[in-house]
Structure 1
């Protein structure tokens, strides 16, 4: 019986096998190198993080033992069916690894570095980093690459030695109980391997051992067989073309998967950082809200001024009502824009893999070019308007001398800021002038450059005149302040009102100069791409086109494989069965007298090949479709790039038009405002002035929105061109290493450049 115990013990050990962790790690050791090998085949095949399990700081991380995870929270109704399937009691061992109420790890938000209020600050690169860490879409795509490599390991294993070990042990009793009956213990064991060959042959080697014990006490019967079996096709299923097809396809599929993921990774960055719904799109929504809030502020200030003018009898109720309606419309616009921004933020959080409840705050420094007025100048104008409204409230009862002196002191303090206002505007105007000194670019319009230079000259003259007006207004305020007496109380009050108007009018002129200079300073990045070299570069480097070419070759190979199945079957079969003498009980002493050897041919005539015929015809059609698919994608790439270049050119032109519209709308607003608040010789408050102000404010808001939209749209299309050219390259972190398309006169791929600074409006 001891001899039977050994094969039984071996069988139990083999049946139990290794641990779950051993097999998981074994799969990783086989799959990861395959993916790494494919990455090394091309410069654009990098996929970044290769490790399948998300890092600990990810929301997708699993803090539990991956091989023995605890039971997760279950749906109550479905859980009842797990505990009592049909009429049975469910297993009591489902919870042997414990229970958890968690689906996502606790404290994953700490990796986002929130502030004390729990708010997460995001810039462009931080957004991409968070998405790579927490995006479910990205993790699923990475797992697909791993699964393709894992599938290949099975195809490779098919051509390795495939060992097997089996044992069957049975106890049999017949007749009456002992000692009258008879009992038999039989143990049959097999140990061997299969091997497939590249030309289609198959080899089987099997060592079989049988041990029989009986209750009669006789010596056990031991018998062994050593079986060799070789099959080699000669027609059907013969040759490396046919037999290696599955392995070849699987090897190429992993390369396709790596390329697809490398391209997905680039598209993922562009969608998160730039494209519609991405970070840059959020910044556009922020700028739109800023424009709406600025319009609301101007509407409210002007409405308050109209209300004071109405009290003094210098504005009609119709004018007040008209501006009140416009003011309420601006309030509604701010509400709508703010709700749209918050909805866009929540949608962006979903893209990043974050819960919508998580508060985020965006780095808005890329919007600095759209701040068209120095905040200090804006505050100075607000203070002057508040001063003016306060004076209008004193229309029926001029204040005392003491109050008037304090009024003039406040006005003088405001007027002291005049030189700094001129300096601020002059700095922007000088920067605009230096910009005009840059050499002309191929895409520049000579006529537009001449107009811009003329505008610069006119602005320089205007700033000099407004500076002089500020000095005059300041001097007048000083003179009027010194003449305040009880006898001149009413005249002094009127002088304070008129002095504030003169200074405010000159300040508006300074702000108008600064606004126009800053508008001109907003420029789009240069993109020098020629259509011919761009198309050639894309067709040589597009990863999806490379895959499509490979898939056409796959379809071409399968024509040969399908044609092989039409042939008759002729197989050479050889076998040898070496056996031992059962009477000697010597399991390794094979007897030549009892051994058998066989060799022969097996023939299967091609008399029924309807299914194979159809498969062959299908392979021919599939190949033609694959070729057409290559041509179709090649044409689509041409269309994409031609469209990208056209759209870039159109967006650049639209941006220039929007800039001129902002300039025109700003001038119209300043002129209409001057008609309302300017000196007596310029003021003509009436219905036409009110309508002109309302229209100018509406046009200015629309033009500013259009300018920002075209700026963002150009950046989105510029990145789309990089993506369509397959020239966008990412580093291991997932950030771009090149900032612009390759110049047509610089052959080869773009030289790597540092990653963009955090918060830049594009890579």
Structure 2
């Protein structure tokens, strides 16, 4: 009897046995193999679809970026065992244990922190080279975060005197938001770049795109030839008393099939089965029997045709295209959400093909709140303004305490100022809290820990801050000029006082570079050449001329006519000339030393009074230089970034033309609108697909079956004589189609709904674009108003302070309650200055946000490979003659 080794010498049996072992072993079927194959298929599908530049796939990778906090460098197929909840581990079975070779524990990437540190060093080095104009008398508010409030309160506390109501503990106010952290300074572009690789929400959308491509690989594979193989090896033995008798054998059962689905709905199935029996008790130890069958089915009615068969593949391919376009739009939506304002959902239009993002605190969705870089910078600027306002009120409070000691104001006015000071403190605390809350929410957007100290670079608002600082500097320079001119020395020769004024009005920081500094020597020289009578007559003539000009201006205003600019310039010229002549007259009176004719006791008072008259007159002359300096600054207000579409500035076009332009652009470019149009076709296809199910069944089927002889050991001895052919026509009348009927009717309604949805889609997009256009045009005009409001607010504060400190007019009887009125005027002016500053910054940020959102609505927000908008914020060129 031949042994097993002899039987296995037969070549075909050896091959068959080896094939069976190969299938059983499952070589290559590891986790990494399937993952890598899936990645390769998805990459191929996305590469095929990535041919349109308008929705090019960028910033995409299904695995987290190595720089991200959520990066995971470990093996994705065998991640370490994560830390478990103790109670869950204790009270439930734990069938999976940590494996030593894969480890256990949690991992968080750290590379993003190194990048932030590098950015901080670069930004601080750049800011050192681009500092704001320096003050001659800087305020006691340092720039270093965390110390500003403490330093400010320190100055305020120093002003408190023991026993006064204002002598209250300030440690709580200083301590409330004091921080010793050293924040990392990051710019707008840097935060966007950080968010693009570190944001959890953005990585979710990357994975959504990957998941949208997987069904395409499945549907494509359904039309490929699909092979199936199976092998059973059975070793059996039985005793002689068993009903089947003595047996000692191996059974090798091999089955294989090949199937194919065709676009017409036809299916082809080829099956092969082989059985090899190795009977170790028989003189003929091996028997091989094979069977081969083929079945081909073609539906002619229900279930047949390209429309029905290709529907699943068509929808998967189109859904992937929607996902690609949605991903491209999400990049822009995400940029706007990080840089400005907006959410991640593209509401109300959705992101077809990507997972729906419901927003924070809905179910288990922990989507980061969307606050944006610019709003946080705006809150930081509002905080700076509150600190400056509190510092100004601190100075006013000190001034009022000094005035009270001199008997100029009452306790009631001091209390009123202190009340305003306390209200400013409370407002500062609230604004500080809102800023810190916004900053923490922004850290969630970036995917960083909330305890990471960050400081946002104020570059988007820096042009505005520089401009405001230059206005402040002009008023500070005027105050410095007044302070230098007010230095009173009773022993100083009056002639030297004229020379001091000449130096101040030609060389001081206020007048330096102005036309006034050039013209003053000649103008004052001409006046000095006039006699006292001629000078007095000139003042009278100019005063009368001014009165007439003002009457004419009033007539213009009564008639509702705009006052010509040349007319305003003429009034200013007359007023300036009159102020200069009055100044010369005051200087002559001071130089005449009329106090010498008085008694010794009255001389000092009279000299001081005349000195004060010269100071007030000289200040009015200096105001001319101040106004010229402000005129120079006014020309340098930062210009709003343009709103250009196809070379047309939408701010300058007529409104109707601009609205038509944005409507055409949005309808042509919007990626989500393209998806919405395509979804109408999706709904249209369902009409034919569901209508197909209403038909009866009529299938043509062909079967072929053949086998090898059961008594011969010939596994492939197929022959026509042992082959069977069958052609079958299978029909079913459509008697019961209730479900199919309802599905068809629903498809008809679904198509009509999708048509209406598209109409609503287009209408709402046009509505958004038109509203955005109107908002931008309104903000652009409001910006001009806000500029003038800030200028007037500074002038109002200066005038209110000057009025409060001006000596009383002896010819006018002081009205009762005038000190209180002046106090309210000063405090109201200070409040209006704060309001004007905040409104200016808010208007600028709102314009930048609205501009970004309109470009997003128009799909004109191109991003580079890092995810940054290829649009530059304005870099204004400042007038070198302005401070």
Query: Taking structure 1 as the reference length, what is the TM-score of the superposition?
Result: 0.81
- 28-37 or 533-542, which moves further after superposition? 28-37
Distance in 1 separating the partners of 2:769 and 2:591: 65
Residues 193 and 451 from structure 1, CA distance in 2 versus in 1: closer, same or farther, beyond 3 angstroms? Answer: farther
How many Å apart are 1:157 and its aligned residue?
0.5
Aligned to 1:524: 640
Aligned to 1:261: 327
Distance in 2 separating the partners of 1:602 and 1:458: 104
How many Å apart are 1:255 and its aligned residue?
0.7
Q: Secondary structure at the match of 2:260?
A: strand
Q: Secondary structure at the match of 1:590?
A: coil
Residues 376 and 538 from structure 1, CA distance in 2 versus in 1: closer, same or farther, beyond 3 angstroms? Answer: closer
* 1:201 maps onto 2:260 in alignment: no
Q: Where do 1:541-690 residues align within 5 Å?
A: 541-678=669-806, 686-690=819-823
Could you tell me whether the CA contact under 8 Å between 2:640 and 2:874 is conserved in 1?
no
Aligned to 1:101: 106
How many Å apart are 1:479 and its aligned residue?
14
Could you tell me whether the CA contact under 8 Å between 1:31 and 1:153 is conserved in 2?
yes
Could you tell me whether the CA contact under 8 Å between 1:125 and 1:759 is conserved in 2?
no
Distance in 1 separating the partners of 2:213 and 2:43: 8
Distance in 2 separating the partners of 1:666 and 1:469: 26
How many Å apart are 1:118 and its aligned residue?
6.3
For the aligned residue pairs, the C-alpha RMSD in angstroms reads 4.2
Distance in 1 separating the partners of 2:737 and 2:229: 38
Distance in 1 separating the partners of 2:589 and 2:279: 130
* 1:373 maps onto 2:384 in alignment: no
Aligned to 1:394: none
How many Å apart are 1:19 and its aligned residue?
2.9
How many Å apart are 1:22 and its aligned residue?
2.5
How many Å apart are 1:351 and its aligned residue?
1.2
* 1:241 maps onto 2:307 in alignment: yes
Q: Secondary structure at the match of 1:347?
A: helix
Could you tell me whether the CA contact under 8 Å between 2:639 and 2:876 is conserved in 1?
no
Match of 2:832 among 699, 709, 712: 699
How many Å apart are 1:716 and its aligned residue?
1.5
Q: 1:502-560 deviations in whole A, cap 9, x for unaligned?
A: 88887777667656764662433343331123212211221111111100001101100
Aligned to 2:248: 183
Distance in 2 separating the partners of 1:709 and 1:155: 53
Aligned to 1:298: 392
Q: Where do 1:146-545 residues align within 5 Å?
A: 146-175=210-239, 181-217=246-282, 218-275=284-341, 277-367=371-461, 368-370=463-465, 371-374=467-470, 419-423=508-512, 514=629, 518=633, 521-527=637-643, 528-529=649-650, 530-545=658-673
Distance in 2 separating the partners of 1:361 and 1:12: 61
Q: Which has the higher contact order (CA 8 A, sep 6+)?
A: 1
Distance in 2 separating the partners of 1:213 and 1:469: 131
Could you tell me whether the CA contact under 8 Å between 1:662 and 1:704 is conserved in 2?
yes
Q: 1:195-227 deviations in whole A, cap 9, x for unaligned?
A: 110100111122222112234144122112222
- 377-386 or 305-314, which moves further after superposition? 377-386
- 179-188 or 327-336, which moves further after superposition? 179-188
Q: Secondary structure at the match of 2:80?
A: coil
Residues 466 and 651 from structure 1, CA distance in 2 versus in 1: closer, same or farther, beyond 3 angstroms? Answer: farther
Number of matched pairs: 699
How many Å apart are 1:109 and its aligned residue?
1.1
How many Å apart are 1:617 and its aligned residue?
0.8
How many Å apart are 1:712 and its aligned residue?
1.6
Unaligned runs of at least 5 residues, structure 2:
9-13, 122-180, 343-370, 517-559, 594-600, 644-648, 651-657, 878-883
Residues 725 and 114 from structure 1, CA distance in 2 versus in 1: closer, same or farther, beyond 3 angstroms? Answer: closer
How many Å apart are 1:147 and its aligned residue?
1.1
Match of 1:11 among 7, 20, 23: 23
Could you tell me whether the CA contact under 8 Å between 1:541 and 1:726 is conserved in 2?
yes
Aligned to 1:708: 841
Q: Secondary structure at the match of 2:88?
A: helix
Q: 1:368-387 deviations in whole A, cap 9, x for unaligned?
A: 32342337657657878999
Residues 531 and 400 from structure 1, CA distance in 2 versus in 1: closer, same or farther, beyond 3 angstroms? Answer: closer
- 678-687 or 616-625, which moves further after superposition? 678-687
Distance in 2 separating the partners of 1:33 and 1:258: 14
Distance in 2 separating the partners of 1:555 and 1:507: 77
Distance in 2 separating the partners of 1:13 and 1:449: 95
Q: Secondary structure at the match of 1:184?
A: strand
Q: 1:727-761 deviations in whole A, cap 9, x for unaligned?
A: 22222222223x4xxxxxxxxxxxxxxx658999x
How many Å apart are 1:55 and its aligned residue?
2.4
How many Å apart are 1:358 and its aligned residue?
1.2
Q: Secondary structure at the match of 2:414?
A: helix
Residues 212 and 246 from structure 1, CA distance in 2 versus in 1: closer, same or farther, beyond 3 angstroms? Answer: same
Residues 278 and 418 from structure 1, CA distance in 2 versus in 1: closer, same or farther, beyond 3 angstroms? Answer: farther
How many Å apart are 1:127 and its aligned residue?
1.7
Residues 553 and 472 from structure 1, CA distance in 2 versus in 1: closer, same or farther, beyond 3 angstroms? Answer: farther
Aligned to 1:47: 57
- 168-177 or 252-261, which moves further after superposition? 168-177
Distance in 1 separating the partners of 2:212 and 2:22: 35
Residues 79 and 229 from structure 1, CA distance in 2 versus in 1: closer, same or farther, beyond 3 angstroms? Answer: same
Residues 182 and 352 from structure 1, CA distance in 2 versus in 1: closer, same or farther, beyond 3 angstroms? Answer: same
Match of 1:30 among 10, 26, 41: 41
Bigger Rg over Cα: 2
Distance in 2 separating the partners of 1:493 and 1:115: 56
Distance in 2 separating the partners of 1:419 and 1:121: 37
Could you tell me whether the CA contact under 8 Å between 1:422 and 1:463 is conserved in 2?
no
Q: 1:110-166 deviations in whole A, cap 9, x for unaligned?
A: 122254886332222112111101111111112111111122111101011112121
Q: Secondary structure at the match of 1:637?
A: helix
Could you tell me whether the CA contact under 8 Å between 1:470 and 1:507 is conserved in 2?
no
Q: Secondary structure at the match of 1:421?
A: coil
Distance in 1 separating the partners of 2:633 and 2:696: 82
Distance in 1 separating the partners of 2:581 and 2:295: 108
Could you tell me whether the CA contact under 8 Å between 2:478 and 2:626 is conserved in 1?
no
Residues 425 and 671 from structure 1, CA distance in 2 versus in 1: closer, same or farther, beyond 3 angstroms? Answer: farther
* 1:733 maps onto 2:866 in alignment: yes
- 340-349 or 492-501, which moves further after superposition? 492-501
Residues 458 and 62 from structure 1, CA distance in 2 versus in 1: closer, same or farther, beyond 3 angstroms? Answer: farther
Q: 1:547-596 deviations in whole A, cap 9, x for unaligned?
A: 11100001101100100011111111112122122322222222333332
Q: Secondary structure at the match of 1:190?
A: strand
Distance in 2 separating the partners of 1:714 and 1:725: 16
- 266-275 or 503-512, which moves further after superposition? 503-512
Aligned to 2:354: none
Residues 534 and 616 from structure 1, CA distance in 2 versus in 1: closer, same or farther, beyond 3 angstroms? Answer: same
Could you tell me whether the CA contact under 8 Å between 1:20 and 1:67 is conserved in 2?
yes
Q: Secondary structure at the match of 1:44?
A: helix
Distance in 2 separating the partners of 1:121 and 1:356: 15
